[in-house]
């Protein structure tokens, strides 16, 4: 089983990875931290069983030329999902975000509904990441059991 974790926060990435490995031991988790990094991996010969995707992402990976990866885009994850749909890459995606409201006042609930309706073959759901709570871990476990 292979997961691609698309997350630009090293702390959040480590926490999610630790939770996934505690739940299911026989997994291979790769990670990238930007829209471009995700598309390079997703649109390759590599196959993933599941993509765990942050919504707010920088356009580029951190490098010497772009030390911060560029400003985070509120809907970077949406751009990845759009490209997956355009390229007919049907890999299940679960979004994990710590935002309740996005650019333009779009709520978590509205975005979740829009993405699931617009990309039903790709987007399986959204999880609100509230680090101190364990509810996000339970939701993630549900998706892992369903799609892996």
Domains in the chain and their CATH numbers? 2-62+69-145 (3.40.50.2300)
Q: Hey, what are 30's tokens? A: 């790769």
Closest CA to 59 of 37, 86, 82: 37
SS3 at position 73: strand
pTM: 0.90
Q: How far apart are CA 134 and CA 138, in angstroms?
A: 7
What is the reported pLDDT for 70? 56
Tens-level pLDDT at each residue, the chain (148 residues): 899 999 999 999 999 999 888 877 788 999 999 999 999 999 999 999 999 999 999 885 655 555 554 555 568 899 999 999 999 999 999 999 998 888 888 999 999 999 999 999 999 999 999 988 889 999 998 998 887 7
What is the reported pLDDT for 60? 56
What is the reported pLDDT for 146? 87
Closest CA to 94 of 1, 5, 2: 5
Task: Specify the DSSP element, H or E, that contains 53.
Answer: strand 50-53
């Amino acid at each position: 089983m292979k997961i691609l974790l698309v997350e630009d926060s090293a702390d959040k990435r480590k926490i999610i990875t630790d939770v996934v490995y505690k739940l299911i031991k026989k997994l291979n988790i790769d990670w990238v931290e930007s829209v471009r990094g995700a598309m390079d991996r997703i649109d390759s010969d590599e196959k993933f069983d599941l993509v765990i995707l942050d919504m707010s992402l920088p356009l580029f990976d951190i490098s010497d030329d772009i030390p911060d990866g560029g400003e985070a885009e509120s809907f970077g994850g949406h751009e990845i999902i759009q490209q997956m749909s355009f390229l007919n890459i049907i890999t299940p995606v679960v979004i994990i975000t710590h935002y309740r409201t996005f650019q333009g006042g779009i709520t978590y609930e509205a975005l979740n509904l829009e993405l699931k309706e617009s990309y039903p073959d790709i987007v399986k759901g959204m999880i609100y990441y509230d680090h101190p709570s364990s509810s996000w871990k339970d939701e993630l476990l549900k998706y892992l059991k369903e799609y892996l």
